[in-house]
Amino acid sequence: MPEPDFDAIVVGAGPAGCVAATLLARAGHQVVLIERGSTPGSKNLSGGVLYGRVLETVFPDYAAEAPVERRITKHTTTFLNADSAVSIDYWAKSLAKPVNAVTVLRAHFDEWLASQAEEAGAFLMAGVRVDELMVESGQVVGVRAGEDELRTRLVVAADGVNSFLARAVGLRGTPRQEQVALGVKGVLRMDPKTIEDRFGVRGGEGAAHAIVGDCTKGVAGGAFLYTNKSSLSLGVVMRLDDLIAKGFKSSDIFEHCYTHPGLAPYLDGGELIEYGSHLVAEGGLEMLGEVSSDGLIVIGEAVGLTINSGFAVRGMDLAIGSAIIAARLADAALRHGDTSAQALDYRQRLLGSYIGQDLKTYAKAPAFLHRNRLYSDYGMLAAEVFRGVFSLDTTPRQHLLKCAREAVRGSGVGYRKLLADGLAGVRSL
Ligand SMILES: Cc1cc2nc3c(=O)[nH]c(=O)nc-3n(C[C@H](O)[C@H](O)[C@H](O)COP(=O)(O)OP(=O)(O)OC[C@H]3O[C@@H](n4cnc5c(N)ncnc54)[C@H](O)[C@@H]3O)c2cc1C
């Protein structure tokens, strides 16, 4: 066997790859981090709320040192109709300290993460696309990038939602259309004072809005509106099967959301300075395929690690968490000179961790979120209840319960479906 060029080759400099490369380099291994984008983050797109407690375990002062935008202390969940909306607001000062979540812009954030990997001793190769894995006698022994071959004792695939590497060795199949969503995102420039006045936040604090309903024209999914320092991140995430079935173009849905009268008070005057789209895994636990083979370990969204609870999209924190688990196991395997899947024992450790527990907790969420009534009827129903409460004329008032009963009767949803959906929601989310 020729001598390996590196102990570990990490493919993909997103959150998963950068953290894995940092930890393996800190442990004294020769690591190369390969990224196809000209700079880390240049090809990446997230809504942008990072639940960062897990990152703190690797970079304790990340919230002060990394290019983060705002500390999120306010979460708003909205049912949006064509001309009405019902929202729940949750604000808590305690979410600022310890920092629970921050907004990030990936072009800056991923670059910082990759620089931390370099500082730890990893060698960053940006602007290089890995074309395939080199496999000899069933063992992954390196990667090919164009004419170049790099040999290694272990490949860490952190190449994101499509993970051609994991698919090439049969660890994953092509995801089904209902297991992925298409996200379209725009960044709108806005001065910080306007942002703080409109979203009711101060200082470095920020708000995260999760919106369902008319913002996606009823397509299963939702919209997000997050505050950065001097910009807003606005996006729509639409389940691919429903988007195709309803025959809409994703750009038209984004345009509809961007110009929605219910969002205009937040967005007016914002200048669209960035626009892009990206797939996101939506299958949850059901999507988790095989996660390692001899000489290969797969982390982050490359194994489908995302959770969409309807209230929040989580992917970056799970990517980082899986990178930490994988790096620990890889370090031990490299030290013992055995990087077989059996020695790595990664699947068991991943499923036994809080990540595996969370995947199990939210395992029913994808099926629950397939109920189309969530994206149309319930927003109208909630608005109708509040219309009964707040719309005063000279007719006699009714108690809330009666308003609600009449709203249910008028909605066409029916008590049985309402009860079934309510129970399913409580059990899934
Ligand atoms: C619209 C949208 C909104 C989202 N909102 C949120 C959110 O608010 N919060 C959250 O936590 N998550 C969110 N997510 C999910 C989150 O973006 C992902 O889960 C997360 O980025 C996964 O991290 P990763 O490191 O596994 O993969 P990625 O971030 O996708 O990184 C993979 C890297 O690999 C590189 N790469 C791929 N193939 C190759 C190759 N062959 N050779 C070399 N390099 C390669 C890519 O260029 C990329 O840099 C959102 C996703 C979308 C699309």
- The answer to whether residues 153 and 225 belong to one domain is no
- The answer to whether residues 362 and 229 belong to one domain is no
Task: Tell me what the pLDDT averaged over the chain comes to.
Answer: 95
Distance 80 CA to ligand 1 centre (A): 28
Distance 368 CA to ligand 1 centre (A): 24
Chunked into runs of 10 residues, the chain (429 residues) has average pLDDT values of 92 98 98 98 92 98 98 97 96 95 98 98 98 96 97 98 93 90 97 98 96 94 97 96 95 97 97 96 88 97 92 94 98 97 95 96 90 90 92 90 91 89 88
Distance 160 CA to ligand 1 centre (A): 5
Q: What is the reported pTM?
A: 0.96
Distance 297 CA to ligand 1 centre (A): 17
**Is the preceding omega at residue 366 within 30 degrees of 0, hence cis?**
no
Of the residues 219, 253, 281, the one at which a domain ends? 281
- The answer to whether residues 291 and 320 belong to one domain is yes
314 lines ligand 1 (CB under 6 A): yes
**Looking at residue 426, what is its pLDDT?**
86
Q: What total number of domains does the chain contain?
A: 3
- Residue of 44, 112, 240, 277 best suited for mutating to test ligand 1, as the one with most atoms within 8 Å of CB: 44
Taking CA atoms, 423 is separated from 77, 364, 417, in Å, by: 19, 12, 10
Indicate which residue's Cα is closest to atom 29 of ligand 1.
Answer: 14
Q: The tokens of 114 are what?
A: 């990759």
- The answer to whether residues 295 and 163 belong to one domain is yes
- The answer to whether residues 385 and 409 belong to one domain is yes
CA dist., res. 87 & res. 78, Å (int): 4
**Looking at residue 115, what is its pLDDT?**
98
The domain in which residue 385 lies consists of 376-428
Count CB neighbours of 60 within 10 A: 10
**Looking at residue 359, what is its pLDDT?**
95
**Looking at residue 309, what is its pLDDT?**
85
Report the DSSP pairing between strands 49-51 and 180-189: unpaired
Torsion of Cα atoms, 265 then 267 then 269 then 272, to 10°: -170
- The answer to whether residues 290 and 156 belong to one domain is yes
